[in-house]
Structure 1
Protein backbone atom coordinates (compact mmCIF):
# COMPACT_ATOMS: atom_id res chain seq x y z
CA UNK A 1 0.00 0.00 0.00
CA UNK A 2 2.86 2.38 0.72
CA UNK A 3 4.06 2.19 -2.87
CA UNK A 4 0.71 3.34 -4.27
CA UNK A 5 0.54 6.21 -1.76
CA UNK A 6 4.01 7.35 -2.78
CA UNK A 7 3.02 7.12 -6.46
CA UNK A 8 -0.17 9.11 -5.80
CA UNK A 9 1.82 11.79 -3.98
CA UNK A 10 4.36 11.96 -6.80
CA UNK A 11 1.56 12.23 -9.37
CA UNK A 12 -0.15 14.97 -7.36
CA UNK A 13 3.12 16.87 -6.97
CA UNK A 14 3.75 16.59 -10.71
CA UNK A 15 0.24 17.85 -11.55
CA UNK A 16 0.62 20.73 -9.10
CA UNK A 17 3.95 21.70 -10.68
CA UNK A 18 2.32 21.64 -14.14
CA UNK A 19 -0.52 23.84 -12.92
CA UNK A 20 1.83 26.35 -11.29
CA UNK A 21 3.94 26.51 -14.46
CA UNK A 22 0.78 27.19 -16.46
CA UNK A 23 -0.37 29.95 -14.12
CA UNK A 24 2.94 31.78 -13.70
CA UNK A 25 4.94 31.25 -16.86
CA UNK A 26 2.57 30.46 -19.69
CA UNK A 27 3.15 26.71 -19.94
CA UNK A 28 0.51 24.59 -21.68
CA UNK A 29 -2.70 23.88 -19.76
CA UNK A 30 -2.44 20.40 -18.17
CA UNK A 31 -5.02 17.84 -19.21
CA UNK A 32 -8.13 17.74 -17.08
CA UNK A 33 -8.22 21.50 -16.44
CA UNK A 34 -10.61 23.97 -18.01
CA UNK A 35 -8.49 26.25 -20.26
CA UNK A 36 -10.97 29.13 -19.87
CA UNK A 37 -10.79 29.02 -16.07
CA UNK A 38 -7.02 28.69 -16.16
CA UNK A 39 -6.90 31.76 -18.42
CA UNK A 40 -9.05 33.74 -15.99
CA UNK A 41 -6.82 32.74 -13.08
CA UNK A 42 -3.66 33.64 -15.06
CA UNK A 43 -5.04 37.08 -15.91
CA UNK A 44 -5.93 37.72 -12.27
CA UNK A 45 -2.46 36.68 -11.14
CA UNK A 46 -0.81 38.91 -13.76
CA UNK A 47 -2.93 41.89 -12.66
CA UNK A 48 -2.00 41.23 -9.02
CA UNK A 49 1.65 40.93 -9.96
CA UNK A 50 1.47 44.18 -11.95
CA UNK A 51 0.04 45.93 -8.89
CA UNK A 52 2.85 44.59 -6.71
CA UNK A 53 5.47 45.75 -9.19
CA UNK A 54 3.80 49.17 -9.47
CA UNK A 55 4.20 49.59 -5.69
CA UNK A 56 7.95 49.08 -6.04
CA UNK A 57 8.22 51.08 -9.28
CA UNK A 58 5.54 53.79 -8.99
CA UNK A 59 7.10 56.21 -11.49
CA UNK A 60 7.52 53.49 -14.10
CA UNK A 61 3.87 52.52 -13.72
CA UNK A 62 2.69 56.15 -13.67
CA UNK A 63 4.89 57.04 -16.65
CA UNK A 64 3.32 54.30 -18.74
CA UNK A 65 -0.15 55.35 -17.49
CA UNK A 66 -2.86 53.39 -19.34
CA UNK A 67 -0.17 51.31 -21.10
CA UNK A 68 1.15 49.97 -17.75
CA UNK A 69 -1.08 46.90 -17.40
CA UNK A 70 -0.91 45.72 -21.03
CA UNK A 71 2.85 46.37 -21.19
CA UNK A 72 3.53 44.55 -17.94
CA UNK A 73 1.25 41.59 -18.63
CA UNK A 74 2.67 41.11 -22.14
CA UNK A 75 6.21 41.17 -20.68
CA UNK A 76 5.41 38.96 -17.66
CA UNK A 77 3.16 36.40 -19.36
CA UNK A 78 5.98 33.93 -20.00
CA UNK A 79 8.29 34.89 -17.13
CA UNK A 80 7.95 33.49 -13.62
CA UNK A 81 8.23 36.19 -10.98
CA UNK A 82 11.57 37.05 -9.43
CA UNK A 83 9.89 39.32 -6.89
CA UNK A 84 8.35 42.73 -7.46
CA UNK A 85 11.57 44.73 -7.25
CA UNK A 86 13.42 42.51 -9.72
CA UNK A 87 10.42 42.16 -12.05
CA UNK A 88 10.17 45.94 -12.33
CA UNK A 89 13.90 46.26 -12.84
CA UNK A 90 13.94 43.62 -15.55
CA UNK A 91 10.93 45.23 -17.25
CA UNK A 92 12.59 48.67 -17.13
CA UNK A 93 15.75 47.24 -18.67
CA UNK A 94 13.81 45.53 -21.44
CA UNK A 95 11.87 48.74 -22.16
CA UNK A 96 15.08 50.80 -22.35
CA UNK A 97 16.35 48.37 -24.97
CA UNK A 98 13.29 49.33 -27.07
CA UNK A 99 13.59 53.09 -26.50
CA UNK A 100 13.65 55.72 -23.78
CA UNK A 101 11.50 55.32 -20.69
CA UNK A 102 9.01 58.04 -19.74
CA UNK A 103 10.86 60.91 -18.00
CA UNK A 104 9.86 60.15 -14.37
CA UNK A 105 10.65 56.46 -14.87
CA UNK A 106 14.08 57.33 -16.27
CA UNK A 107 14.98 59.04 -13.01
CA UNK A 108 13.58 56.21 -10.90
CA UNK A 109 15.54 53.68 -12.94
CA UNK A 110 18.75 55.75 -12.74
CA UNK A 111 18.42 56.02 -8.96
CA UNK A 112 18.04 52.26 -8.61
CA UNK A 113 20.97 51.61 -10.94
CA UNK A 114 23.18 54.03 -8.98
CA UNK A 115 22.22 52.72 -5.55
CA UNK A 116 22.18 49.00 -6.26
CA UNK A 117 24.13 46.39 -8.20
CA UNK A 118 21.88 44.05 -10.12
CA UNK A 119 23.07 41.68 -12.81
CA UNK A 120 19.65 40.31 -13.80
CA UNK A 121 20.37 36.90 -12.25
CA UNK A 122 21.04 37.38 -8.54
CA UNK A 123 19.35 39.53 -5.93
CA UNK A 124 20.22 43.27 -5.99
CA UNK A 125 22.94 44.36 -3.56
CA UNK A 126 23.76 47.87 -2.34
CA UNK A 127 26.68 49.45 -4.17
CA UNK A 128 29.82 50.04 -2.15
CA UNK A 129 31.64 52.19 -4.70
CA UNK A 130 30.47 55.53 -6.09
CA UNK A 131 28.21 55.38 -9.15
CA UNK A 132 26.88 57.88 -11.69
CA UNK A 133 23.89 57.48 -14.01
CA UNK A 134 22.50 59.92 -16.58
CA UNK A 135 19.04 61.39 -16.53
CA UNK A 136 17.46 63.80 -19.01
CA UNK A 137 18.62 67.03 -17.39
CA UNK A 138 21.53 65.92 -15.21
CA UNK A 139 23.01 62.95 -13.40
CA UNK A 140 22.26 60.73 -10.44
CA UNK A 141 25.26 60.30 -8.15
CA UNK A 142 25.64 57.72 -5.39
CA UNK A 143 28.47 58.24 -2.95
CA UNK A 144 28.84 56.72 0.52
CA UNK A 145 25.32 55.31 0.32
CA UNK A 146 23.68 58.66 -0.42
CA UNK A 147 21.90 59.52 -3.64
CA UNK A 148 21.99 63.00 -5.15
CA UNK A 149 20.42 64.23 -8.34
CA UNK A 150 22.53 66.95 -9.93
CA UNK A 151 20.63 68.96 -12.51
CA UNK A 152 22.05 71.23 -15.16
CA UNK A 153 21.78 74.80 -14.15
CA UNK A 154 20.10 76.89 -16.82
CA UNK A 155 20.53 80.62 -16.95
CA UNK A 156 17.25 82.43 -16.88
Structure 2
Protein backbone atom coordinates (compact mmCIF):
# COMPACT_ATOMS: atom_id res chain seq x y z
CA UNK A 1 0.00 0.00 0.00
CA UNK A 2 1.54 3.32 -1.03
CA UNK A 3 1.17 6.61 0.90
CA UNK A 4 -1.89 7.74 -1.07
CA UNK A 5 -3.67 4.41 -0.54
CA UNK A 6 -2.83 4.46 3.17
CA UNK A 7 -4.11 8.01 3.50
CA UNK A 8 -7.33 7.08 1.70
CA UNK A 9 -7.76 4.12 4.07
CA UNK A 10 -7.36 6.46 7.04
CA UNK A 11 -4.10 5.06 8.40
CA UNK A 12 -2.61 7.61 10.85
CA UNK A 13 0.99 6.74 9.98
CA UNK A 14 0.46 8.07 6.48
CA UNK A 15 -0.68 11.60 7.43
CA UNK A 16 1.62 14.36 6.22
CA UNK A 17 3.42 16.36 8.92
CA UNK A 18 1.00 19.29 8.54
CA UNK A 19 -1.86 16.99 9.38
CA UNK A 20 0.05 15.68 12.39
CA UNK A 21 0.53 19.25 13.61
CA UNK A 22 -3.21 19.88 13.25
CA UNK A 23 -4.00 16.69 15.20
CA UNK A 24 -1.53 17.69 17.93
CA UNK A 25 -3.09 21.16 18.16
CA UNK A 26 -6.55 19.57 18.44
CA UNK A 27 -5.30 17.32 21.26
CA UNK A 28 -3.78 20.26 23.14
CA UNK A 29 -6.99 22.27 22.69
CA UNK A 30 -9.01 19.33 24.04
CA UNK A 31 -6.73 19.03 27.08
CA UNK A 32 -6.27 22.65 28.09
CA UNK A 33 -8.81 24.82 26.30
CA UNK A 34 -12.04 22.83 26.44
CA UNK A 35 -11.92 21.75 22.82
CA UNK A 36 -13.73 18.65 21.56
CA UNK A 37 -12.05 15.24 21.78
CA UNK A 38 -10.09 14.56 18.59
CA UNK A 39 -11.04 11.54 16.52
CA UNK A 40 -9.33 8.39 17.70
CA UNK A 41 -8.86 9.41 21.35
CA UNK A 42 -10.67 7.78 24.23
CA UNK A 43 -12.94 10.47 25.75
CA UNK A 44 -12.65 8.96 29.25
CA UNK A 45 -8.86 9.04 29.09
CA UNK A 46 -8.96 12.62 27.82
CA UNK A 47 -11.27 13.64 30.68
CA UNK A 48 -8.90 12.04 33.21
CA UNK A 49 -5.90 13.82 31.70
CA UNK A 50 -7.81 17.13 31.54
CA UNK A 51 -8.79 16.83 35.22
CA UNK A 52 -5.21 16.04 36.24
CA UNK A 53 -3.90 19.05 34.30
CA UNK A 54 -6.49 21.35 35.90
CA UNK A 55 -5.55 20.13 39.39
CA UNK A 56 -1.87 20.70 38.60
CA UNK A 57 -2.68 24.16 37.28
CA UNK A 58 -4.65 24.95 40.46
CA UNK A 59 -1.59 24.05 42.52
CA UNK A 60 0.64 26.30 40.44
CA UNK A 61 -1.77 29.22 40.76
CA UNK A 62 -2.04 28.62 44.52
CA UNK A 63 1.76 29.01 44.77
CA UNK A 64 1.48 32.47 43.17
CA UNK A 65 -1.74 33.41 45.03
CA UNK A 66 -1.44 31.70 48.42
CA UNK A 67 -3.84 34.04 50.25
CA UNK A 68 -6.51 33.64 47.60
CA UNK A 69 -6.22 29.85 47.83
CA UNK A 70 -6.15 29.94 51.65
CA UNK A 71 -9.16 32.25 51.74
CA UNK A 72 -11.17 29.80 49.66
CA UNK A 73 -9.93 26.88 51.78
CA UNK A 74 -11.38 23.52 50.80
CA UNK A 75 -13.35 25.22 47.99
CA UNK A 76 -10.14 26.33 46.22
CA UNK A 77 -9.67 23.36 43.86
CA UNK A 78 -13.32 23.22 42.78
CA UNK A 79 -13.56 27.00 42.40
CA UNK A 80 -10.41 27.12 40.29
CA UNK A 81 -11.35 24.13 38.14
CA UNK A 82 -14.82 25.58 37.40
CA UNK A 83 -13.23 28.89 36.41
CA UNK A 84 -10.34 27.43 34.41
CA UNK A 85 -12.22 24.72 32.50
CA UNK A 86 -12.24 25.76 28.86
CA UNK A 87 -9.74 28.58 29.38
CA UNK A 88 -6.19 28.23 28.13
CA UNK A 89 -3.64 29.30 30.70
CA UNK A 90 -2.10 32.75 30.59
CA UNK A 91 0.43 31.70 33.23
CA UNK A 92 -0.09 31.09 36.94
CA UNK A 93 0.24 34.72 38.00
CA UNK A 94 -2.22 35.99 35.41
CA UNK A 95 -4.65 33.09 35.93
CA UNK A 96 -4.83 33.89 39.63
CA UNK A 97 -5.23 37.60 38.93
CA UNK A 98 -8.04 36.99 36.45
CA UNK A 99 -9.80 34.61 38.84
CA UNK A 100 -9.46 37.04 41.77
CA UNK A 101 -10.92 39.85 39.68
CA UNK A 102 -13.83 37.70 38.57
CA UNK A 103 -14.55 36.65 42.15
CA UNK A 104 -14.35 40.32 43.19
CA UNK A 105 -16.80 41.31 40.47
CA UNK A 106 -19.23 38.56 41.60
CA UNK A 107 -18.86 39.59 45.24
CA UNK A 108 -17.44 36.21 46.28
CA UNK A 109 -13.78 37.14 46.81
CA UNK A 110 -12.72 36.08 50.33
CA UNK A 111 -11.07 38.72 52.57
CA UNK A 112 -7.58 37.21 52.29
CA UNK A 113 -7.92 37.14 48.50
CA UNK A 114 -9.15 40.75 48.51
CA UNK A 115 -6.10 41.87 50.45
CA UNK A 116 -3.76 39.96 48.15
CA UNK A 117 -5.44 41.43 45.06
CA UNK A 118 -5.30 44.97 46.49
CA UNK A 119 -1.58 44.62 47.20
CA UNK A 120 -0.85 43.20 43.72
CA UNK A 121 -2.78 46.01 42.05
CA UNK A 122 -0.89 48.60 44.09
CA UNK A 123 2.45 47.16 42.97
CA UNK A 124 1.80 46.16 39.35
CA UNK A 125 -0.30 47.27 36.39
CA UNK A 126 -2.30 44.52 34.71
CA UNK A 127 -4.90 45.19 32.06
CA UNK A 128 -6.04 41.59 31.65
CA UNK A 129 -4.35 41.22 28.27
CA UNK A 130 -0.65 42.00 28.52
CA UNK A 131 1.70 40.67 31.22
CA UNK A 132 1.74 42.65 34.48
CA UNK A 133 4.27 45.50 34.68
CA UNK A 134 5.77 46.95 37.82
CA UNK A 135 4.60 50.46 38.67
CA UNK A 136 7.30 53.13 38.83
CA UNK A 137 5.13 55.78 40.41
CA UNK A 138 3.08 55.44 43.57
CA UNK A 139 0.06 53.24 43.12
CA UNK A 140 -2.92 51.94 44.97
CA UNK A 141 -5.19 48.94 44.80
CA UNK A 142 -8.65 48.27 46.16
CA UNK A 143 -10.62 45.02 46.32
CA UNK A 144 -13.39 43.79 48.57
CA UNK A 145 -12.95 46.63 51.05
CA UNK A 146 -9.18 46.20 51.27
CA UNK A 147 -7.01 49.18 50.27
CA UNK A 148 -3.26 49.02 49.65
CA UNK A 149 -0.76 51.67 48.56
CA UNK A 150 2.71 51.44 47.11
CA UNK A 151 5.04 54.37 47.65
CA UNK A 152 8.83 54.55 47.43
CA UNK A 153 9.07 50.80 46.88
CA UNK A 154 7.07 49.89 49.98
CA UNK A 155 3.60 48.44 50.07
CA UNK A 156 1.19 49.02 52.92
CA UNK A 157 -2.22 47.56 53.46
CA UNK A 158 -4.11 50.63 54.67
CA UNK A 159 -7.46 48.97 55.21
CA UNK A 160 -7.85 45.22 55.63
CA UNK A 161 -10.86 43.53 54.08
CA UNK A 162 -13.82 43.18 56.43
CA UNK A 163 -14.08 39.73 57.89
TM-score (norm 2): 0.85
Shift of 1:129: 1.8
User: What CA RMSD, in Å, does the superposition of the two structures yield over aligned residues?
Assistant: 2.3
Matched, 1:21 2:41: no
Matches of 1:91 and 1:35, distance apart in 2: 28
Whether the 8 Å contact between 1:129 and 1:143 is mirrored in structure 2 is: yes
Matched, 1:148 2:156: yes
Instruction: Give the secondary structure class of the aligned counterpart of 1:32.
Output: coil
Answer with 99-108 or 29-38: which moved more. Answer: 99-108
Which residue in 1 is equivalent to 2:10?
Answer: none
1:75 pairs with one of 79, 83, 88: 83
Structure 2 unaligned blocks of 5 or more: 8-12
TM alignment of 1:1-156, pairs within 5 A: 8-134=16-142, 139-151=147-159
Shift of 1:74: 0.7
Q: Deviation digits for residues 36-61 of structure 1, max 9, x if unmatched?
A: 00000000000000000000000100
Shift of 1:151: 4.5
Matches of 1:138 and 1:43, distance apart in 2: 33
Matches of 2:146 and 2:97, distance apart in 1: 21
Whether the 8 Å contact between 1:139 and 1:150 is mirrored in structure 2 is: yes
Structure 1 unaligned blocks of 5 or more: none
Aligned residue pair count: 151
Matches of 1:91 and 1:79, distance apart in 2: 11
